[in-house]
Amino acid sequence: MPSSSQPARVRFAPSPTGRTHLGSGRTALYNYLLARQTGGQFILRIEDTDQKRYVPGAEEELMNGLRWLGLEWDEGPDIGGPFGPYRQTERRNLYAKYARQLIESGHAYYCFCDSPKIDEGDAPGERHKHRDVCPDRDQLLADADARISSGDDHVIRFKMPIEGSITVTDAIRGDITVENSTLDDYILVKSNGLPVYHLAVVIDDHLMEISHVIRTSEWLPTFPLHGHIYNAFGWDQPIWVHPSIFLKPDGKGKMSKRDTEALQKEGKSIFLGDFEGMGYLPQAVVNWMALIGWSYDDKTEFFTLDDLIEKFSLEKLNPSPAAINFSKLDHFNGLHIREMDSADLANLIRPFFEKDGYQVDDQEKLEQIAEVLQIRLAILDEAPEKAGFFFKEAIHPEPESLIGKKMTSGESLAMAGCIRELIASLPDFSEETANQPLRDQAVELGLKAGHIFGFLRNAITAQKVSPPIFETMTIVGREKVLERIDKAIAILENLGNEN
């Protein structure tokens, strides 16, 4: 059942204050899904009014991250749209007008207090209540205007009702009622003339005709203030949704900076910009993120972006905190690797081979390798470890690995000689032509097939584990197979000479 029959206008409204993490990616995803499901619009709005925390390059990383995930927006700072501009600093003049409207209607006031915290913005839970100590709260507007004309520094504060309560409603959490006595006269516009988030978000969501606000639950504590600001303007509120928060992988508490750094030491990251380099597919990250805090039913776990567009529903969002589980991501990555075209997989694994120093100049071979690896990879960066031997000019098997179980080096050498001869003498070389003769050979020598295949694996890949031996040999090619067997024979001969 779709979440809404009306086309939803939703927005993803990040602040460019640092790297884009998974939580933001998921917020963007849920918004995107609702927009696409209902035939509505997905809007990207950059909330950059906190200039002190502005990080150059953050906006670019953010857009790259969204595009990598496949979450294209319909309106945004780079592409424009009918409700622009979509960057809040470019809307600054517009906020002043609305702030003045709140002042004139008695819902806000100019405050000239020289509190040291005056510009820091404030939040519920402060120890003292500003409204109890502010001499400007009930100042006549004409007097305040005169002070402003004479150049007095000031901020604009919301004039919080002293009595009563407010109820705000979250679509997945229900009603939240807060006594106004616990709230305060929060700053709406700072002394530099820029609005704080609380004011800008309400004005922009209203002017951009946003129908649903799906945003991080870090905003729950200030949610009642937002309700008050809507009421003060006399505007209808959007449908509010605050999905679950993310917990660290062990489920014990929120991810801290230290947890993030620890994760990075393990080669993992929660930053969207790092997932591609770690070897994850965007479709897997989307699948994984969607299910941190949402489920379709108890059993379905594989979803493409199109599946999610069809099946997503706000009702199934779970407000309880959810732990980030990287082994699940590996699992999903594997599932999505299996689903993709092997030629595409080849192009995706190429940079991982190259990063490890392999020269990949044979596209056909790379595609054959991709086919073999397709059912064996969870993360793309495992490809060189599993299949780098295909690109090596020479490999160096451990001498011991060439000696069969319960065999001497002499017996292994004899076996190797027979195998070489057999492979060299086949009219052509494939699994069909080589498998049975090699097995017959084992019987003839009083050995098990495992002895022969084990030798071949070590001689040709220098690895204990490799893709199936016949597929491997076919890709390596008979000539190189024989070369590697010869080398193994030389190693065994050397062992014999040493003994």
Query: How far is residue 460's CA from residue 466's CA, in Å, rounded to a whole number?
Result: 10
Q: Which residues contact 189 (CB under 8 A, 6 or more apart)?
A: 95, 96, 99, 155, 156, 195, 196, 199
Residue nearest to ligand GLU (CB): 215
Q: Which is nearer to ligand GLU, 213 or 492 (CB)?
A: 213
How far apart CA 35 and CA 25 sit, in angstroms, is 15
Distances (CA, A) of 94 to 97, 110, 231: 6, 18, 19
Indicate the residue type of 129. K
Q: Binder to ligand GLU among 36, 47, 412, 484 (CB under 6 A)?
A: 47
Show contacts with ligand GLU in window 8-27 (CB under 6 A): 13-15
The CB-of-81 to ligand GLU minimum distance in angstroms stands at 17
Distance CA 235, CA 343 (A): 53
Residue type, 381: D
Comparing CB distances to ligand GLU, the nearer of 10 and 285 is 10
Q: Pairing between strand 174-179 and 165-170? A: antiparallel
Could you tell me which of 152, 156, 144 has the C-alpha nearest to residue 196? 156
Measure the CA–CA gap between 259 and 198, rounded to whole angstroms.
29
Check binding of 491 to ligand GLU (CB under 6 A).
no
What is the residue type of 248? K
Q: Which is nearer to ligand GLU, 201 or 442 (CB)?
A: 201
Of 7-15, 329-337, 388-396, 433-441, the segment contacting ligand GLU by CB under 6 A is 7-15
Rounded CA separation 232/187 (Å): 15
By beta-carbon proximity to ligand GLU, the closer residue of 47 and 330 is: 47
Is 222 among the residues that bind ligand GLU (CB under 6 A)? no
Q: By CB under 6 A, which span of 153-161, 214-222, 304-312, 364-372 interacts with ligand GLU?
A: 214-222
Quick check: 215 binds ligand GLU (CB under 6 A)?
yes
Question: To the nearest whole angstrom, how small is the minimum distance from the Cβ of residue 9 to ligand GLU?
Answer: 14
Site map for ligand GLU, 66-105, x if CB under 6 A?
----------------------------------------
Q: Which of 89, 115, 169, 216 binds ligand GLU (CB under 6 A)?
A: 216
Active site residues: 257
- Is there a contact between 180 and 163 (Cβ–Cβ < 8 Å)? yes
Under rule CB under 6 A, residue 289 binds ligand GLU: no
Reading across the β-sheet that carries 155-158, which strands appear in turn?
A: 108-111, 155-158, 187-189
Q: Considering only residues 229-258, where is the footprint of ligand GLU by CB under 6 A?
A: none
Q: Which of residues 131-150 bind ligand GLU (CB under 6 A)?
A: none
What's the burial of 93, exposed, middle or buried (CB within 10 Å: 0-12/13-18/19+)?
exposed
Beta bridge partners of 112: none
* Listed ranges 122-130, 156-164, 215-223, 276-284: which one lies at the site for ligand GLU (CB under 6 A): 215-223
Give, as ranges, the residues between 186 and 205 that touch ligand GLU (CB under 6 A). 197, 201
Contact region with ligand GLU (CB under 6 A), list: 132-140, 142-150, 211-219, 440-448? 211-219
Between 47 and 75, CB nearer to ligand GLU = 47
By 3-state DSSP, what share of the chain in percent is helix, strand and coil, each rounded to 5?
50, 10, 40
Q: What's the closest the beta carbon of residue 224 comes to ligand GLU, in angstroms?
A: 15
**Single-letter code of the amino acid located at 416:** A
Cβ proximity to ligand GLU, 197 vs 353, nearer residue: 197
Closest CA to 270 of 308, 220, 216, 324: 324
- The three-state DSSP-derived secondary structure of 344-393 is HHHHHHHHHHHHCCCCCCCHHHHHHHHHHHCCCCCCHHHHHHHHHHHHCC
Q: How far is the CB of 270 from ligand GLU (least distance, A)?
A: 15
Closest contact distance (angstroms) between CB of 197 and ligand GLU is 6
Partners of 178 in the β-ladder:
166
Footprint of ligand GLU (CB under 6 A): 13-15, 47, 197, 201, 215-216, 219
